């Protein structure tokens, strides 16, 4: 999709209010001739208390440059502006919704029409957004790879639960470790499906992400991803059967494990029983090894 800015213009007199009830959302969508797409995961948050909770996580007062992904009908945008945050730029892929945001907020926001998966990302101090559940994880991974310093928003509850899960839990895995590599994730309140229109089949959950300051001291991300792809390709196997897949044929996996500071008895453990830092240390040990397998999905090193 091409990327264009709507530009700034004063809103016409009497723009329609931001919808705060499911029926108001339905009327606003009908007025804009937008039919929510299940394929795009379009469900529109209508609960202003949830939007205000998200804005509160960002802070208050002017200064921080804020970029919102997926402005929709403007509920979160309204909450951000009410707290005096800004300047605010909104990325919205649907031109009809983008025009509605300009109509509602005028010069208070800059609206960019484009897809958050490929549009050039404006510089900002914090990114915010209720990410579409269907593509929320790829968008978040792109923000990590692009080096954004902070993100506050909402994803599908299942994804947030994975992001904040401890080692040994049922949902701990590759995504948890990648998130820990780039920074710190905190999970907050669960948002019921009834807070959206149309109501999705799953719940949402608020989260925040703050980027590591010492990222440059960690091994390169491609080395870590090769390690994770190899170890989590068969996560129920013990590490003694998995680690040989990523070392050179003439290298002793036990020596690599020792160099990485893995615990005694590592050979009988499974990947989900290791902490993120233990994967980072192993990736540093293996970093000089030739790449194996497909090109890393997060190819850009921040």
Phi, psi dihedral angles at 282 (to 5 degrees)? -65, -40
From the CB of residue 292, how many other CB atoms can be counted at a distance below 10 Å?
Answer: 10
pLDDT band at 60 (very low <50, low <70, confident <90, very high): confident
Is residue 215 predicted with pLDDT exceeding 90? no
Q: Are 115 and 137 in contact (CB under 8 A)?
A: no
In the 8-state DSSP scheme, what is residue 35? -
Instruction: Select from 157, 143, 283 the least CA-distant residue to 222.
Output: 283
**pTM, whole model, 2 decimals?**
0.87
From the CB of residue 70, how many other CB atoms can be counted at a distance below 10 Å?
Answer: 25
pLDDT of residue 6: 53
- Mean pLDDT value across the chain: 89
User: What 3-state DSSP class applies to 162?
Assistant: helix
Is residue 41 predicted with pLDDT exceeding 80? no
Cα(268)–Cα(7) distance, integer angstroms: 60
pLDDT of residue 298: 46
pLDDT of residue 294: 40
pLDDT of residue 191: 98
Instruction: Select from 175, 105, 117 the least CA-distant residue to 143.
Output: 117
Cα(190)–Cα(47) distance, integer angstroms: 13
Cα(60)–Cα(51) distance, integer angstroms: 14
Tokens standing for 133? 């559940």
Cα distance from N-terminal residue to C-terminal residue, the chain: 25
The residue with greater pLDDT, 172 or 61, is 172
pLDDT of residue 301: 35
Mean pLDDT for the stretch of residues 63-71:
93
Domains contained in the chain, CATH given: 4-213 (3.40.50.150), 218-286 (1.10.8.100)
Which residues fall within 8 angstroms of residue 57, CB to CB, at 6 or more apart?
A: 152, 188, 206, 208
Give the tens place of pLDDT for each residue, 258-302: 999 999 999 999 999 999 999 999 999 988 654 444 433 443 333
pLDDT of residue 287: 82
pLDDT band at 14 (very low <50, low <70, confident <90, very high): low
């Amino acid at each position: 999709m091409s990327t264009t800015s709507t530009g700034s213009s004063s809103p016409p007199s009497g723009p329609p209010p931001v919808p705060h009830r499911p029926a108001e959302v339905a009327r606003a969508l009908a007025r804009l001739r937008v039919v929510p797409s299940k394929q795009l995961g379009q469900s529109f948050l209508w609960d202003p208390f949830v939007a205000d909770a998200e804005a509160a996580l960002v802070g208050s007062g002017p200064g921080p440059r804020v970029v919102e992904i997926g402005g929709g009908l403007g509920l979160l945008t309204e909450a951000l502006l009410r707290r005096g945050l800004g300047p605010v730029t909104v990325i919205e892929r649907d031109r009809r919704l983008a025009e509605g945001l300009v109509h509602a907020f005028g010069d208070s926001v800059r609206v960019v029409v484009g897809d958050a998966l490929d549009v050039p990302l404006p510089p900002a101090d914090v990114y915010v957004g209720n990410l579409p559940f269907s593509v929320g994880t790829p968008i978040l991974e792109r923000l990590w790879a692009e080096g954004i310093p902070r993100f506050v928003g909402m994803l599908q509850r299942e994804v947030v639960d994975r992001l904040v899960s401890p080692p040994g839990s049922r949902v701990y895995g590759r995504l948890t470790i990648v998130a820990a590599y780039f920074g710190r994730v905190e999970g907050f309140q669960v948002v019921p499906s009834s807070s959206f229109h149309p109501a999705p089949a799953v719940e949402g959950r608020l989260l925040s992400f703050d980027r590591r300051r010492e990222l440059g001291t960690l091994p390169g991300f491609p080395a870590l991803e090769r390690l994770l792809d190899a170890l989590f390709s068969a996560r129920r196997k013990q590490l003694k059967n998995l680690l040989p897949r990523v070392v050179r044929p003439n290298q002793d996996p036990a020596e690599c494990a020792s160099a990485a500071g893995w615990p005694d008895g590592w050979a009988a453990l499974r990947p989900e029983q290791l902490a993120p830092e233990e994967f980072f240390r192993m990736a540093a040990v293996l970093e000089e090894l030739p790449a194996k397998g497909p090109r890393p999905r997060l190819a850009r090193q921040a």
